[in-house]
Amino acid sequence: MICVSLTARSNEQMLRMMELESGEADMLELRLDGIKNLDLTKLLEARTRPVIVTCRPADEGGKWKGSESARLELLGEADALGAEYIDIELDASGNLPGGKAKRIVSFHDFDKTPDDLSAIHEKLVASGADVAKIAVTARSIMDNLAVFKLLKERGAKTPTIALCMGEHGVVSRIASPLFGGYLTFAAASKEGKAKPSAPGQLTTKQLCREFRYRDLRPTTRIYGVIGKPIAHSLSPLIHNAAFNELHIDALYLPFLVDDIREFVPAYREIGARGFSVTIPHKEAALECAEEVDELAARLGAANTLYESEGKWRAANTDCSASVGALERALGTKKSGGSPLANKNIVVMGAGGAARAMVFGLVDKGAKVVVANRTYERGAKLAEEASAVAGGKCHAVKLDELGDLKFDVICNLTSIGMHPNVDESPVPAELLKPKMVVFDAVYNPLETKLIRDARESGCSVVPGLDWFIGQAAEQFRLWTGQDAPEETMRQAALARLG
Ligand code: NAP
């Protein structure tokens, strides 16, 4: 179930929010603390969903300014008026007389996830809770495991809400149905943006549309992207859209991870079946697999962890997808073989993405020139790739770009990325008809470089093509099925467009 938690400054504002949020929610939590002109009768008469009535004092994260006895009286009044649930904190629960409403007895820790969640749960149950609620703070992605374990071990006996607050705890709010959680709290939305009553809450729309909350159950398989930062990743959106399209019982989560070596084995144990890996963990990802695919080993970096024949493997779909997108743009060669063979290709940038592309290109027999802002970094990449390619890769300084003859140019820097949308790494006069121009940047969808290239009559490969391509290959490795690429693309376009 999803319960939208509502806080308001006035009774009128709370009434408006109740009407707005009733649509997709199963329940509403009415936070009475903070309402200046409270009229409880009016609020409860207006409800069209079951409600949890809550009134938090300041030391429990609330805004209640009255006395403790007045607070307990108010909760008693809500019970008498027919509220379906009353939330009372563990320390105060003995002081609130029983009534008809179901009693949620809650425990909060705004600083950490304590070690003894089972003992705390026992106290909640012993205090007469119909529903036990534990909301703690995750300092690391690993803290969610304690909450999942608690739900699994104790949630069947006593209805239990257990979650981690904060950015490391977002996954506990989404995945709770996998472990038997009673409900999750969602944020109210204000003009499309989340207005959380506690840190880390998502809106009902995000839970249902982006994370398939209504379809989640204990059999649901876990996938996700490992990175830091991760909040703005589009990967959950497109992979969950793909699972949804093919009716696959799976969930893809954003994992904010500090230490991938600790994270991967622990989440494998709770049922994770595969991961995407992004900055800064692509190198360390190799250590998390029992076997490493040849390309990933050569690159020294993986963006995918997947299971095959009982073993965890590391792969690099960044490389194959970027090269594949360029091959499609160049078209097939009559004589067979890769259309990249012997093509003159400039790669701008020498970071992780450029490295994957350069190695993939030299593998196909292309003649690659690396042009990077920091020349030495570009020269090092060219030297390493050259060792593989028998001399077919060298580096130039950025101001030598105009002297080069090339068939293909690839931007693997962040130049042109939002908000610097009027910047391009390549002067427009260097772009000629029949060239192929590849841009890694996909926000905006159409960068200045891609616009200039179209106007110059070049073929283009925009960043979204690469992004969808690398994700589609991951999807195949995890599920053995072809990814519904158009669905993934539409999901990304809906967000970026
Ligand atoms: P990275 O390791 O941080 O490397 C960034 C590269 O961009 C470096 O070569 C850096 O040059 C260069 N650079 C950054 N700002 C610059 C500027 N103002 N002027 C000139 N050069 C600049 O990042 P990465 O992982 O390789 O990613 C590079 C780009 O690819 C990013 O835009 C990323 O979003 C994109 N990407 C897209 C996809 C996709 O699926 N479409 C996948 C992966 C990455 P220095 O060496 O001089 O610092």
- Tens-digit pLDDT profile for residues 1-20: 999 999 999 999 999 999 99
Contacts of 104 (CB under 8 A, 6+ apart): 52, 85, 86, 87, 88, 129, 130, 131, 132, 133, 161
pLDDT higher at 274 or 310: 274
Mark whether 108 is an active-site residue: yes
Q: In the predicted model, is pLDDT for residue 61 greater than 70?
A: yes
- Catalytic pick among 33, 79, 87, 108: 108
Q: Across residues 347-376, what is the average pLDDT?
A: 94
CA of 225 to the centre of ligand 1 (A): 19
**In this structure, what are the phi and psi dihedrals at residue 39, rounded to the nearest 5 degrees?**
-130, 90
Handedness of CA 221, 224, 226, 229 (dihedral sign): negative
The burial class, CB within 10 Å (0-12 / 13-18 / 19+), for 476 is middle
318 CA closest ligand 1 atom index? 42
Residue nearest to atom 2 of ligand 1 (CA): 351
Do 314 and 304 touch, CB atoms closer than 8 A? yes
Mark whether 318 is an active-site residue: yes
Give the pLDDT confidence score for residue 73 in this predicted structure: 96
CA of 450 to the centre of ligand 1 (A): 16
Cα–Cα dist 488/486, whole Å: 5
CA of 301 to the centre of ligand 1 (A): 16
Contacts of 183 (CB under 8 A, 6+ apart): 1, 2, 3, 26, 27, 161, 176
Range list of β-strands (E), 148-201: 160-165, 184-190, 193-195
Give the tens place of pLDDT for each residue, 72-82: 999 999 999 99
Provide the b/e sequence for 439-470 (b: ≥16 CB within 10 Å): bbbbbbebbbbbbbbeebebbbbbbbbbbbbb
Handedness of CA 313, 314, 320, 321 (dihedral sign): positive
Give the pLDDT confidence score for residue 456 in this predicted structure: 97
442 CA closest ligand 1 atom index? 41
H-helix or E-strand spanning residue 363: helix 352-363
- The model's confidence at residue 459, banded by pLDDT at 50, 70 and 90, is very high
CA of 141 to the centre of ligand 1 (A): 27
Instruction: Return the percentage of the chain with pLDDT > 70, whole number.
Output: 99
- The model's confidence at residue 391, banded by pLDDT at 50, 70 and 90, is low
Mark whether 434 is an active-site residue: no
3-class state of residue 389 by DSSP: helix
Q: Which residues pair with 347 in a beta bridge?
A: 370, 410
Q: In the predicted model, is pLDDT for residue 198 greater than 90?
A: no
Cα–Cα dist 198/321, whole Å: 40
Residue nearest to atom 23 of ligand 1 (CA): 351
Give one word for 340, left, alpha or beta, with left for phi > 0 and alpha for psi -120 to 50.
alpha
Give the tens place of pLDDT for each residue, 366-381: 999 999 999 999 999 9
Give the tens place of pLDDT for each residue, 408-452: 999 999 999 999 999 999 999 999 999 999 999 999 999 999 999
Q: In the predicted model, is pLDDT for residue 193 greater than 80?
A: no
H-helix or E-strand spanning residue 224: strand 221-227
413 CA closest ligand 1 atom index? 7
Q: Across residues 199-205, what is the average pLDDT?
A: 89
- The model's confidence at residue 336, banded by pLDDT at 50, 70 and 90, is confident
Give the pLDDT confidence score for residue 189 in this predicted structure: 84
Give the pLDDT confidence score for residue 191 in this predicted structure: 62
The H-assigned helical ranges of 67-186 are 68-80, 117-126, 143-154, 170-174
